[in-house]
Amino acid sequence: MVLTGQHIHQAFCAIEPEQARPWDAISLVAQQKYDALAEELGKMLEQDTVTIAAVRCPQCEAMLEVAHAEGHACFVDS
C-alpha cells in the first residue's frame, strides 16, 4: 500500500470528526502538506522491518507463537 495525502486526511477526520471536511474542501496548501506527510511516512515504513512473532487463531482467538502455531489444536483438528 502506498500512503497518500488523502489517507492521512481520512485518518485525521477519523480522530477529529468535529473538524472533518471533505478532501476537496481543504485548501491546496493543506492537501500538499498531507501529501508530503504521506510521502515521509511511506519512506519511514519502507525502512521498517517487521517480524511477525505471533498470530491469533481465527477459531479460538488464542495468541500463538509462530514457531509453534502448526501444532495448535484448532489447526490439527481441521
Q: Assess whether 71 and 55 both reside in one domain.
A: yes
Q: Assess whether 58 and 70 both reside in one domain.
A: yes
Q: Assess whether 56 and 39 both reside in one domain.
A: no
What pLDDT score was predicted for residue 16?
Answer: 94
**Residue-range definition of the domain harbouring residue 66:** 50-78
Higher pLDDT, 32 or 60: 32
Domain count, the chain: 2
H or E element, residue 65: strand 63-65
> Which pLDDT band holds residue 46 (cuts at 50, 70, 90)?
confident
Q: Assess whether 38 and 55 both reside in one domain.
A: no
State pTM to two decimals: 0.59
List C-alpha distances in Å: 26 to 2, 18, 22, 44, 54.
21, 15, 7, 26, 41
**pLDDT, average across residues 10-14:** 95
